[in-house]
Structure 1
């Protein structure tokens, strides 16, 4: 079984049953493999969680980069716009997306597991102010999107599609002055 499928199985266990249920045995059962097969790829639960967190961070970074590339050169506040667009794509995505981000939320509870997420947050939010037209507004917009993500991680159905679209427009509009 491939490593990615094992990570998918772990995310399913985490999303459907919660952090206490995330055991190597539960993941192996979800994936339909022996525990030994799982241990070949992930010798500990910590290694499994680290891999879920790393994959999620990498995918978000790639999504932000793809939005920046799609804007072309000279787009004001390109990074913050891409951050908003990527986050809203995740917020309006399928259940698999929510499972993936549940891994990040679960990892944040353990200081050792939170280190990669903390580093990513420093990178995502500790940007050079000179890159933004109005650094304070750009920071406010990125933090607002983080807050929205946090709220929706607890209640994914809180806002409907129309409300989310309005929030996205408003946040991007703040960057326009």
Structure 2
């Protein structure tokens, strides 16, 4: 059993059933492996949640870096909509799993602070950049709670209007 498959199983469990359902036995069952197989990769529930948080941060950083825009905020905006529209809404599930444990939330809080400070000094309009980044957080939350609320057309309109706010 690969580490990524175990993380996928844990995220799926969190998304479908919430944090109270996140047990090592339930994750192993969902992943189709023994509890020992899970424990080989993640010795504790906290280690599993930490792995989900780390993966979320790493993948979002990679997605932002892969965008080809001229400012960090435009890259952040494009990455947000790409992530939300891909159907991989693990962010809310991971936060739910880590909630209540400041140790587990610390890396996510640090990443959030970095994402919201990154490159502001080089933005043509730092206030507009902050507004767009905050709007991206709202997009994440709404899409996480009600994935079917907006369709591709709505997301395209929202992204275009936020891009207009940035002047491009």
**Corresponding residue for 2:155?**
164
SS of equivalent to 2:89: helix
Q: Is the 8 A contact 1:56 1:101 kept in 2?
A: no
**Corresponding residue for 2:130?**
139
Deviation at 1:40, TM superposition (A): 1.1
TM-score, normalised to structure 2, is: 0.93
Q: Does 1:113 align with 2:89?
A: no
Deviation at 1:127, TM superposition (A): 2.8
Deviation at 1:129, TM superposition (A): 3.1
Q: Is the 8 A contact 2:24 2:38 kept in 1?
A: yes
Q: Distance in 2 between matches of 1:130 and 1:35?
A: 49
**Corresponding residue for 1:87?**
80
CA offset digits 1:111-143 (Å, max 9, x no partner): 221101000011001235321111111011101
Kindly report which structure 2 residues correspond to 1:20-169, keeping only aligned pairs within 5 A, or say none: 20-67=20-67, 70-71=68-69, 75=70, 78-94=71-87, 97-99=88-90, 101-169=92-160
Q: Say which is worse superposed, 98-107 or 152-161, in terms of deviation.
A: 98-107
Q: Distance in 2 between matches of 1:171 and 1:108?
A: 30
CA offset digits 1:61-97 (Å, max 9, x no partner): 0000010xx34xxx2xx11001000000111112xx1
**Corresponding residue for 1:7?**
7
* TM-align CA RMSD: 1.5
Q: Distance in 1 between matches of 2:75 and 2:111?
A: 16
Q: Is the 8 A contact 1:56 1:104 kept in 2?
A: no
TM-score, normalised to structure 1, is: 0.89
Cα 1:171/1:105, change in 2 over 3 Å: farther
SS of equivalent to 1:38: helix
Q: Distance in 1 between matches of 2:79 and 2:99?
A: 21
Q: Distance in 1 between matches of 2:12 and 2:18?
A: 9
Q: Distance in 1 between matches of 2:2 and 2:83?
A: 24
Q: Is the 8 A contact 2:72 2:119 kept in 1?
A: no
SS of equivalent to 1:159: coil
